[in-house]
Amino acid sequence: MSDSQAISAAVAKLYNTYPFPPEPLLDEPPPGYNWRWNWLAAYNFCTGQKPSHHNVRILDAGCGTGVGTEYLVHLNPDATVVGIDLSAGALAVAKERCQKSGATRVEFHHLSLFDVEQLPGEFDLINCVGVLHHTPDPIRGIQALAKKLSPGGIMHIFVYGELGRWEIKLMQEAIALLQGDKRGDYTDGVAVGRQLFAALPEDNRLRKREQERWSWENQRDGYFADMYVHPQEIDYNINTLFELIDASGLEFLGFSNPQIWDLKRLIAKAPELIERSQDLSDRQRYRLIELLDPSMITHYEFFLGRSPITREDWASDAKLMSAIPSPSPCIQGWQNGQQFFNHDYQIVQLNDAEWQFLLACDGNQTTEQILQSVDASLADVRSLQKQQIILLTAKTE
């Protein structure tokens, strides 16, 4: 057995022991939404415009117990969804999860990322969350996925960051040392880890970080095992992350948590430093942010795309006036008032003009037609579009 096969077997053993994520199964669709799993919202984030087609193919690469897969099915009613995973135990839970909640437009295959070429066709949206960093060869994995992405398609990826997981790495090594020849016995690893945290002084840095950041989810052994006794983990920094991205041959479309990557949130009080930062490349600016706020960067979540990717910024007033706006599928409660949850589950408060415009968006009228019936301006429309509260489609002749 090669080293790569041995690592894959160890990872499969972990997830057969603790199918992950260990979320409860429901007899109804899962609550809420994650806009990154909604084709319309994700495509709009990446390109600035609503996609022209809804009947897409979606791949959940490393689907685990199907938590994300279930959302992908329910949030994309015109899509067909495929889930793959190397853990037979996790796949069994995924199948049961989707069956119970009525997520019927899905098929599952017992495959690793490296075998994804066995699937027929290409995919418009590939979701690969929390997977690549657990493979023996992430570059080979991302390249295999890239080959299955259709032209104009997008891929959402989530991998770990080394700076915000520093304490986790130390505890992983400590548990492994105490396990000795029992390493690979994941139930023993969980027991050792829990004993360690209970024994450490209350002001110990590792214990404090666990209590402040992770303890709520780590009450469940599946989460604890995934974090502290995983047999394979590769953590990234901005420099190594973009080595991975560049190796994919795909285009970087942006972080899907862009508010984290805004330097102003850290040094807005020093406008002269903000000015200096304009001379930096995007990657240098990202590196500066993670150096200044390391505990925040526990992971990287981002979109990649296969050309041709056409972006639209709606800078032209004429083009914006002729666009057809529609409400984002990932806003909640907007019909009932001007204060509601946006796509990130943050509360927003629209002014009266913005709200009246939003209420008039039906996916059929142009911006110009709506502005003739409500007391709003193009500035209000741009505000709604920038906040991803409305999606815009270019009017076709």
Q: How much is the average pLDDT of 73-79?
A: 97
At 397, is the pLDDT very low, low, confident or very high (cuts 50, 70, 90)? low
Q: Share the mean pLDDT of the chain.
A: 96
- Strands 80-85, 106-110: parallel, antiparallel or unpaired by DSSP? parallel
Give the chain's largest Cα–Cα span.
75
* Lookup: tokens for 395: 């009017």
At 78, is the pLDDT very low, low, confident or very high (cuts 50, 70, 90)? very high
3-state DSSP helix/strand/coil % of the chain, to nearest 5: 50, 15, 35
Helix (H, G, I), strand (E, B) or coil at 328: coil
Q: How much is the average pLDDT of 288-303?
A: 98
Q: How much is the average pLDDT of 326-342?
A: 94
Question: How do residues 142-200 score in pLDDT, each as one tens digit?
Answer: 999 999 999 999 999 999 999 999 999 999 999 999 999 999 999 999 999 999 999 99
pTM of the shown model:
0.96
Q: How much is the average pLDDT of 348-360?
A: 96
At 362, is the pLDDT very low, low, confident or very high (cuts 50, 70, 90)? very high
DSSP letter at 62 equals: T
pLDDT for res 2: 86
pLDDT at 1 over 80: no
* Lookup: tokens for 228: 């502290």
User: What would the DSSP string read from start to end of 271-285?
Assistant: HHHHHHHTTS-HHHH
